[in-house]
Structure 1
Amino acid sequence: MLFQLEKVIFKKIINIDRMEISSHKTTCLIGESGAGKSTLLKLLNKMNIPDEGKVYYNETPLQEIDPVKLRREVVMISQTPLLFGETVEENLQKGLMFSEKPPASREELMKTLEIVKLDKPLDGLAERLSGGERQRLSLGRVLLMKPTVYLLDEPTSALDEETEIEVMKSFIKCTKGHDGTVIMVTHSMNVAEQYGEETISLSK
C-alpha cells in the first residue's frame, strides 16, 4: 500500500479513522468544498502535520522521512499554479533542478508541451499565460520530474470541459508510462468517472 492513514486528525478539517491509497493507480478525491480534500493532499507530502494519528508512505511513518526527500518523490501542484522563472522553459526546468536531475533537452521540453496541450514557445513569458495555461505548464513541469507520486489539486479547474478531458487523458497516459501514481482532487465528475481507478469521497 502506498499511503496509509490511521486515526488522523488535523484541526477541525480532517478526521480519518483509516484510509489506504494504492500505488500505480489514479485516485480521485471528491467531496463538497470544505471537506478537507486539499488538506489531505498536504498531509501526504508533509506540508501539513497531523495533530493526532499517523500517515505512512510505503509503510514508513512520514515523521521519519526527510521532507525535501519526500517532496522529490511526492510532488504536489497547488490549486493556484505558481510560476518559477520568467520563461516557459525556465518553468519547465525548475522541477528538475529541485529534484537534482539533469536539465531536459529542447526535444523533451517540446514533447512535454505537446502532452499537456500547451502551444507556446519555450522563450515565451510565463507571466503572460492565462490561468488554464499556467495549470498546463505546471503539469508539464511535474511530468518532466517523473516522480513516484503526483498530488494534483484541481489541476484542470480553469479549463473548459473538452480541453480538460484531452489534457488529463494525455497526462495520465504519460504518468503510467513510468509507473507513476496520481492522487487528484477534482470537482469534475467527468474526470473522476473516466480516469479515477479509485475514488475517495470526503465529507464535512
Structure 2
Amino acid sequence: MESVFQLKEIQYKDILQVERMDIPLHKITCIIGESGSGKSTLLKMLNNLISPSKGEIFFKDESIQNMDSVELRRKVIMLGQNPVVFPSTIRDNFHIALGFSEKELLPDQKLEEYLRMVHLNKSLDQTVETLSGGEKQRLALARVFALDPEVLLLDEPSSALDEETETLIIEETVNYTKKYNKTLIMVTHAKLIAENYGENIVRISKGRYVMKEEK
C-alpha cells in the first residue's frame, strides 16, 4: 500500500516517540488515544507546524524538512480544535483563505455548496460574529474543502458539535474524502467514529505509537 507519510525514528521532546509509522495514501486514518498522549503533536508535525527533535518525516517520499513549508501546507491543510475565522462575512472568509493559498476565487454557487456539505444554512453575507462556536467550526471545515488540499489534517473536527450534528459532519467529510480521492487524517476522541469510519487506526498511548489497525 502506497504511503502519503512515513515517520522514521521520530521524537518530539518528551511528548511523542515513534520508531516507524506509515500512513496510507487516499485512506481515512483515525488517530486515537488518551488525552495528552501526543495525538495533536503528531498531527502538527505532519505539515511542519512543529519539527521533531530527532528523526525524519517524509511526504510522498520527500523529506518535509527539505520542502518549502508554505507549499507543504497548501497541500496538507490542518484544521485545529479552535480554528481561526476572520471577522467579516462568510463569503469573505472563503475569499481570504483562497487568496492566502493563491487559488482562484470561487463563485457564490460553489461556496454555498460547501456550506451545505457542512449543514450550515447561512447566507454568504452573514457576519461570522453571529455564528456559534459549532457553526464557526463548520465554516472552517467548509473553507478547507474549498481549498482542495491533497491531505486533510483534522484535530477533533466535531468537538463543538452535538452528537447528531457530529455524525452528519463526519459523514460529509468522509464522503468528500472518497469522492475527490483525498487523504484524511483525523484525531478523534470518539472510539465509535474511529471504528465506523477509520480505514486505518493509529493508537497513541503515553507519547508512544503503540498500534496500527487496518481494516
TM-score, normalised by the number of residues in structure 1: 0.97
2:113 — aligned with what?
111
Where do residues 26-37 of structure 1 align in structure 2 (5 Å cutoff)? Answer: 26-37=28-39
Q: More displaced, 25-34 or 186-195? A: 186-195
1:194 — aligned with what?
196
Q: Which of 51, 54, 58 in structure 2 is aligned with 1:52?
A: 54
User: Is the contact made by 2:87 and 2:129 (CA closer than 8 Å) also made in structure 1?
Assistant: no
For residues 31 and 94 of structure 1, what CA distance do their matches in structure 2 show?
Answer: 34
Gaps of 5+ in 1: none
2:169 — aligned with what?
167
Aligned letter for 2:118?
V
For residues 202 and 130 of structure 2, what CA distance do their matches in structure 1 show?
Answer: 36
1:143 — aligned with what?
145
Runs of 4+ in 1 over 3 A off after TM superposition: none
TM-score, normalised by the number of residues in structure 2: 0.92
Aligned letter for 2:12?
F
For residues 46 and 17 of structure 2, what CA distance do their matches in structure 1 show?
Answer: 14
Q: CA-atom RMSD, angstroms?
A: 1.0
Corresponding residue pairs, total: 204
2:16 — aligned with what?
14
1:68 — aligned with what?
70
Gaps of 5+ in 2: 207-215
2:7 — aligned with what?
5
Aligned letter for 2:190?
S
User: Is the contact made by 1:8 and 1:50 (CA closer than 8 Å) also made in structure 2?
Assistant: yes
Task: Tell me the SS of whatever aligns to 1:2.
Answer: strand
Q: Which of 66, 86, 89 in structure 2 is aligned with 1:87?
A: 89
Alpha-carbon offset, residue 131 of structure 1: 1.2
Alpha-carbon offset, residue 128 of structure 1: 2.0
For residues 147 and 178 of structure 2, what CA distance do their matches in structure 1 show?
Answer: 14
Aligned letter for 2:114?
T
User: Is the contact made by 1:36 and 1:202 (CA closer than 8 Å) also made in structure 2?
Assistant: yes
Q: More displaced, 62-71 or 80-89? A: 80-89
For residues 74 and 94 of structure 1, what CA distance do their matches in structure 2 show?
Answer: 18
Alpha-carbon offset, residue 93 of structure 1: 2.4
1:123 — aligned with what?
125
How high is the sequence identity, in percent, across the aligned residues?
47
Task: Tell me the SS of whatever aligns to 2:10.
Answer: strand
1:102 — aligned with what?
104
Per-residue CA deviations over 1:90-110 (Å, capped at 9, x if unaligned) read 112232212211111110011
Task: Tell me the SS of whatever aligns to 1:42.
Answer: helix
For residues 113 and 87 of structure 2, what CA distance do their matches in structure 1 show?
Answer: 20
For residues 39 and 51 of structure 1, what CA distance do their matches in structure 2 show?
Answer: 12
Task: Tell me the SS of whatever aligns to 1:6.
Answer: strand
Alpha-carbon offset, residue 85 of structure 1: 4.2
